[in-house]
Chain A
Amino acid sequence: MSQKYDAIIIGGGHNGLICAAYLAKAGRKVLVLEKRHVLGGAAVSEEMFPGFTFSVASYVVSLFRPHIIRELHLAQHGYEVIPMDCSFLPLPNGDSLARWADSQRSRREIARFSKKDSEVYPEFSRVMTHMGKLAKAVIDHPAPDITSYNPKELANVLRLGKAFKDLGPDLLHLNTKLVTMSALDFLDQWFESEVLKAPMSVSGIIGTFQGVRSPGTAYVLLHHYMGQLDGVFRSWGFSKGGTGGISMACARSAMSYGAEIRTEAPVRQVLIKNGIAAGVILENGDELMANTVISNLDPNRTYLKMVGADNLEADVLKEINRFKLRGSSGKVNLALDSVPEFSCRPGIGEHLKGDIAIAPSIDYLEKAFDQAKYGEFSTRPYINAVIPTLTDPTLAPPGKHILSCFVQYAPYHIKEGAANWPKYREAFGDTVVDTLAEYVPGLKNKILYRQVLTPWDIEEKMGLTEGNIFHGELSLEQLLFQRPMADFSKYKTSIPKLWMCGSGTHPGGGIMGASGELCAKTMLTSRAV
């Protein structure tokens, strides 16, 4: 019988590591078990090809909570995020739109397509900045249970209610629109130019099996507006060394507080004794005992694999089967011989240093979704590409570059069944390269290596069920006190002493760290650990 831990965390993603750091900082004996040889989960940097370090899955950061950086001293442990200055949209007709951090520069770019939009843009930003301030009330606390009469819960509901009330009537009305409308309908109320609306609307569909015209996607748009870097709302940035750099900073912080971290230690299942979580059983058969077990895995894997359907009550089983994962995106990472230059804006400029969207029109995006609805990957997909090596040259050999492409739609459930994805992997990769090559002549000749991740690969490699990058869709019915399900939304599960700290819990989604932090804080304040 080996030593007993206060908490064993299954999965060494950034949330698991943050949860470990908070618990260890509070003096608890913590063990993190990661099945892979690298830490980070979906926030991972790996040298996939000699000299080329990819942010294999998640690739930019904005939503990471600033107080976590402070409280866990992450900057001292290597957390470094460099802001992106530009959002670039190449267009098939040879034109392009670049939106910059500099508002006047953006205005003059947008004015080429619509003078009105160029002037409304700051008004829109102002309103969204106000809405983004809600983040503090929504993201930085466990979701209050609106059905409870417990005075503590009522106080939490009131606190959230006050945050909304403080918005004032105009913004409250706007909020109603945000949670009910489609991303496109919402943007239509502000803007006229499709060249602006198309790239803005994609914030409403990222990681979601919905189209820009699907109701509810306006909320996902807001979710992406809640981010901040150094107090500047809505800005996105590159993590030095790839997104794994953030995970490694979290790991170093956790270790500095005494947490133990094991890699290549896959867990087979949670050890349940008399209906209570008592530890974990590793794939190699080892049993590790703990007072509490915390799963950083998504709700589906936590309940159905780690606990097992046979240990679940009927209602819980029903709810977990209803939980929507529906991975809808893939990733294509290219190692390039030189900088990819866009024919519509030749040269190696600042416009290449931010994110590059292939989203030339609303219909283009909606057609991409149409194919996905019927079980095919989009032959003309929405692509969000970045060239992180222009900002962080250490990721590739000198003069070489990385083009990292987030690709949507790639539905997990393709017509022939998800298991057939490997057959289509290279065709999917070709589609992405072909699409980009229309804007970047000579791209194909620059490619040294290519990594293609279909949603099936994301599931296999990272353990994200159905390849869903958010551990479950960010649709309104799966948020707040219903994430992942109504009765178990506060990091608890239906199994006593088994907790959850992953993106499938409130607030979820993106490299945010809030789920890991709030799980640890909830456990500590309730003396569960």
Chain B
Amino acid sequence: MKYKEWAGYYAVCAYDTSHEPEYYAFRNSAGLLDVTPLFKYRAKGPDAAAFLSRIMVRNISKLEVGRVSYCCWCDDKGKVVDDGTVMRRAENEFFVTSADPSFSWFSRFMRGYNVELTEISDEIAGLALQGPTSRDILKQVCDADLDNLKFFSTTKAKIAGAEIYISRTGYTGDLGYELWAENKDALKLWDAIMDAGRNYDIRPAGLDALDNTRVEAGLILKDVDYFNSLHALTDDRTSSPYEISLGWTVDLKRAPFNGQAALQTEKEQGSKWAIVGLDIDWPQLEELYYKIGLPPVIGSHAWRSSIPIFTGKDRKTQVGYATSGTWSPLLKKNIALATIEKKYDTIGTELQFEVMVEHKRYTVSAIVSKPQFYNPERKTSNPNSQKS
């Protein structure tokens, strides 16, 4: 078992010496992951929607009760501070998750709004149940109408006597749910789900397996694929939503919100960078290994070091850098997420990805693609309806 630091907590990387069974659980059965170290906030009051709309790049006022919004929030320069989810639990009550502690940032904009903002990070536990059998497992123990709970929706539920919230969200890009419970109920919730999952091949899963899945799903990670603009030491390390594949979340034409003017300008004038997926050529890599008499070596862990991306094999013109990647056992592809100059972001563009083979550096071709490599139908579909 291996731990690492996550937001000041020890978090499990893998429950065994290898994380691979946990990856397969996420993709073939179900993995249960503790996401309690996420930061959690409650915004409540008549102006809660307006308040959040002023902070987020998305218009939260439009979010329907029972729906969840994935979004990011920016500083005045239109650079991303953090990303997270906003769940509308009632007309005037929202639940917000974030990667960085955000109480100070959110509360700077409370003046004039009738809203109460509470940090509940230490009061609410989070469990992510992710994978194809997750719905079947939850149905064993839960009273909510899961068959009709749509992707990015949330509902109240009762499990093992505990009142909890379930949201159909996650960080694996698969069918899955996140369960939000009071701390006191967390252990019995865990036990109830593990019991219910026994016949569905459930496994406790850690962050290493999660990292494989989130790269496959093209989901970016703060401090890896981009930096919080409030903590970035240089302007070059900051990114706009457009530059980190979150342009689709920006709703410009509405009441003022943080970064609006800068984002409007960027939208008109174009962005400098783009996050893309890279499909790294396997035969070329294989060939480099074969040439020196070795079989191709590739680790099963996702990586998150910066790898330079060039236009040509001469490595003269660097146009960006990959920030995370993995071998996808499911897709049989060597994939990466990369920040590259905007003009190279057309799908199908061939770039060069630097590799090190037996102490020497080479490049292999990498084809620009959408960041989202893996997107199964079950992620968004419901059993008794058409694809939603």
Number of B residues near A (Cβ < 8 Å) is 15
What residues of B have a CB within 8 angstroms of the CB of A107 in the complex?
A: 8, 101
What residues of A have a CB within 8 angstroms of the CB of B102 in the complex?
A: 119
With both chains docked as a complex, state the minimum distance between the C-beta of B252 and any C-beta of chain A, in angstroms.
Answer: 25
Whether, in the assembled complex, A104 has its beta carbon less than 8 Å from a beta carbon of chain B, the answer is: yes
Q: Which of B75-108 contact A (CB under 8 A)?
A: 100-105, 107
Whether, in the assembled complex, B255 has its beta carbon less than 8 Å from a beta carbon of chain A, the answer is: no
Whether, in the assembled complex, A108 has its beta carbon less than 8 Å from a beta carbon of chain B, the answer is: yes
Whether, in the assembled complex, B231 has its beta carbon less than 8 Å from a beta carbon of chain A, the answer is: yes
Whether, in the assembled complex, B233 has its beta carbon less than 8 Å from a beta carbon of chain A, the answer is: yes
CA–CA, A79 to B107, complex, Å?
47
Binary contact track A111-125/B, C-beta < 8 Å → 1, others 0: 100011111101100
CA–CA, A108 to B10, complex, Å?
13
What residues of B have a CB within 8 angstroms of the CB of A162 in the complex?
A: none
CA–CA, A118 to B231, complex, Å?
13
CA–CA, A120 to B101, complex, Å?
10
With both chains docked as a complex, state the minimum distance between the C-beta of A232 and any C-beta of chain B, in angstroms.
Answer: 13
Binary contact track B221-244/A, C-beta < 8 Å → 1, others 0: 000000000111100000000000
What residues of A have a CB within 8 angstroms of the CB of B101 in the complex?
A: 107, 111, 115, 118-119
Closest residue to B6 on the A side, CB-wise? Answer: A104
Q: Are A105 and B233 in contact (CB under 8 A)?
A: no
CA–CA, A104 to B231, complex, Å?
13
Whether, in the assembled complex, A322 has its beta carbon less than 8 Å from a beta carbon of chain B, the answer is: no
Looking at chain A's contact residues, is the secondary structure mostly helix, strand, loop, or mixed? Answer: helix
Q: Are A119 and B8 in contact (CB under 8 A)?
A: no
What residues of B have a CB within 8 angstroms of the CB of A105 in the complex?
A: 8
Whether, in the assembled complex, A130 has its beta carbon less than 8 Å from a beta carbon of chain B, the answer is: yes
What residues of B have a CB within 8 angstroms of the CB of A130 in the complex?
A: 233
What residues of A have a CB within 8 angstroms of the CB of B103 in the complex?
A: 115-116, 119
Q: Are A123 and B8 in contact (CB under 8 A)?
A: no
Whether, in the assembled complex, B119 has its beta carbon less than 8 Å from a beta carbon of chain A, the answer is: yes
With both chains docked as a complex, state the minimum distance between the C-beta of B124 and any C-beta of chain A, in angstroms.
Answer: 15
What residues of A have a CB within 8 angstroms of the CB of B230 in the complex?
A: 122-123, 126
Given contacts A115-B119, A126-B233, A129-B233, contact A108 B8 (CB under 8 A): yes
With both chains docked as a complex, state the minimum distance between the C-beta of B109 and any C-beta of chain A, in angstroms.
Answer: 13
CA–CA, A122 to B103, complex, Å?
14
Q: Which of B224-280 contact A (CB under 8 A)?
A: 230-233
Q: Are B233 and A116 in contact (CB under 8 A)?
A: no
Closest residue to A121 on the B side, CB-wise? Answer: B104
Closest residue to B5 on the A side, CB-wise? Answer: A104
Q: Which of B103-153 contact A (CB under 8 A)?
A: 103-105, 107, 119
Number of A residues near B (Cβ < 8 Å) is 17
Given contacts A107-B101, A129-B233, contact A116 B8 (CB under 8 A): no
Q: Are B104 and A104 in contact (CB under 8 A)?
A: no
CA–CA, A115 to B121, complex, Å?
11
With both chains docked as a complex, state the minimum distance between the C-beta of A451 and any C-beta of chain B, in angstroms.
Answer: 40
Whether, in the assembled complex, B330 has its beta carbon less than 8 Å from a beta carbon of chain A, the answer is: no
What residues of B have a CB within 8 angstroms of the CB of A108 in the complex?
A: 8
Whether, in the assembled complex, B187 has its beta carbon less than 8 Å from a beta carbon of chain A, the answer is: no
CA–CA, A129 to B234, complex, Å?
11
Q: Are A104 and B233 in contact (CB under 8 A)?
A: no
What residues of A have a CB within 8 angstroms of the CB of B231 in the complex?
A: 122-123, 126
B104 in complex: contacting residue of A102, A115, A126, A129, CB < 8 Å: A115
What residues of B have a CB within 8 angstroms of the CB of A104 in the complex?
A: 5, 7-8
Q: Are A116 and B7 in contact (CB under 8 A)?
A: no
Q: Are B8 and A120 in contact (CB under 8 A)?
A: no
Closest residue to B39 on the A side, CB-wise? Answer: A119
Q: Are B105 and A119 in contact (CB under 8 A)?
A: yes
What residues of A have a CB within 8 angstroms of the CB of B232 in the complex?
A: 126
What residues of B have a CB within 8 angstroms of the CB of A117 in the complex?
A: 104
Binary contact track A86-106/B, C-beta < 8 Å → 1, others 0: 000000000000000010110
Q: Are A116 and B104 in contact (CB under 8 A)?
A: yes
CA–CA, A126 to B5, complex, Å?
21
CA–CA, A120 to B100, complex, Å?
12
CA–CA, A115 to B104, complex, Å?
7
Closest residue to B9 on the A side, CB-wise? Answer: A104
What residues of B have a CB within 8 angstroms of the CB of A123 in the complex?
A: 230-231
CA–CA, A118 to B119, complex, Å?
13
What residues of B have a CB within 8 angstroms of the CB of A122 in the complex?
A: 230-231
Q: Which of A194-222 contact B (CB under 8 A)?
A: none
With both chains docked as a complex, state the minimum distance between the C-beta of B104 and any C-beta of chain A, in angstroms.
Answer: 4
With both chains docked as a complex, state the minimum distance between the C-beta of A525 and any C-beta of chain B, in angstroms.
Answer: 34
What residues of B have a CB within 8 angstroms of the CB of A116 in the complex?
A: 103-104, 107
CA–CA, A358 to B119, complex, Å?
31
Q: Which of B5-19 contact A (CB under 8 A)?
A: 5, 7-8
What residues of B have a CB within 8 angstroms of the CB of A111 in the complex?
A: 101
Closest residue to B37 on the A side, CB-wise? Answer: A104
Closest residue to A130 on the B side, CB-wise? Answer: B233
What residues of B have a CB within 8 angstroms of the CB of A120 in the complex?
A: 104
What residues of A have a CB within 8 angstroms of the CB of B107 in the complex?
A: 116
CA–CA, A122 to B233, complex, Å?
11
CA–CA, A130 to B235, complex, Å?
12
Closest residue to A192 on the B side, CB-wise? Answer: B104
CA–CA, A391 to B311, complex, Å?
52
With both chains docked as a complex, state the minimum distance between the C-beta of A450 and any C-beta of chain B, in angstroms.
Answer: 40
Closest residue to B107 on the A side, CB-wise? Answer: A116
What residues of B have a CB within 8 angstroms of the CB of A118 in the complex?
A: 101, 104
With both chains docked as a complex, state the minimum distance between the C-beta of B142 and any C-beta of chain A, in angstroms.
Answer: 33
CA–CA, A81 to B8, complex, Å?
28
CA–CA, A300 to B62, complex, Å?
72
With both chains docked as a complex, state the minimum distance between the C-beta of A440 and any C-beta of chain B, in angstroms.
Answer: 28
CA–CA, A104 to B121, complex, Å?
14
Most chain B CB atoms below 10 A, which of A111, A115, A119, A126: A119
What residues of B have a CB within 8 angstroms of the CB of A115 in the complex?
A: 101, 103-104, 119
What residues of B have a CB within 8 angstroms of the CB of A126 in the complex?
A: 230-233
CA–CA, A35 to B102, complex, Å?
58
Closest residue to A103 on the B side, CB-wise? Answer: B8
CA–CA, A104 to B102, complex, Å?
14
With both chains docked as a complex, state the minimum distance between the C-beta of B350 and any C-beta of chain A, in angstroms.
Answer: 38
With both chains docked as a complex, state the minimum distance between the C-beta of A113 and any C-beta of chain B, in angstroms.
Answer: 13
What residues of A have a CB within 8 angstroms of the CB of B105 in the complex?
A: 119
What residues of A have a CB within 8 angstroms of the CB of B5 in the complex?
A: 102, 104
CA–CA, A102 to B105, complex, Å?
21
CA–CA, A73 to B40, complex, Å?
51
With both chains docked as a complex, state the minimum distance between the C-beta of B99 and any C-beta of chain A, in angstroms.
Answer: 12
CA–CA, A309 to B290, complex, Å?
84
What residues of B have a CB within 8 angstroms of the CB of A119 in the complex?
A: 100-105
Most chain B CB atoms below 10 A, which of A102, A104, A117, A129: A104
What residues of A have a CB within 8 angstroms of the CB of B8 in the complex?
A: 104-105, 107-108
With both chains docked as a complex, state the minimum distance between the C-beta of B269 and any C-beta of chain A, in angstroms.
Answer: 21
CA–CA, A126 to B232, complex, Å?
8
What residues of A have a CB within 8 angstroms of the CB of B100 in the complex?
A: 119
Closest residue to B103 on the A side, CB-wise? Answer: A115
CA–CA, A111 to B121, complex, Å?
12
What residues of A have a CB within 8 angstroms of the CB of B119 in the complex?
A: 115
CA–CA, A111 to B8, complex, Å?
12
Most chain A CB atoms below 10 A, which of B102, B103, B104: B104
Closest residue to A111 on the B side, CB-wise? Answer: B101
CA–CA, A123 to B108, complex, Å?
14
Q: Give the interface of B toward A (CB within 8 A).
A: 5, 7-8, 100-105, 107, 119, 230-233
* Pairs across A and B, CB under 8 Å, 26 listed: A102-B5, A104-B5, A104-B7, A105-B8, A107-B8, A107-B101, A108-B8, A111-B101, A115-B101, A115-B104, A115-B119, A116-B103, A117-B104, A118-B104, A119-B100, A119-B103, A119-B105, A122-B230, A123-B230, A123-B231, A126-B230, A126-B231, A126-B232, A126-B233, A129-B233, A130-B233
Q: Give the interface of A toward B (CB within 8 A).
A: 102, 104-105, 107-108, 111, 115-120, 122-123, 126, 129-130
User: Other CB < 8 Å A-B pairs besides A116-B104, A119-B100, A122-B230, 10 of them?
Assistant: A104-B7, A108-B8, A111-B101, A115-B119, A118-B101, A119-B105, A123-B231, A126-B230, A126-B232, A126-B233
Q: Would you list the 6 A-B pairs with minimal beta carbon distance, nearest first? A: A104-B8, A119-B104, A116-B104, A115-B103, A119-B101, A108-B8
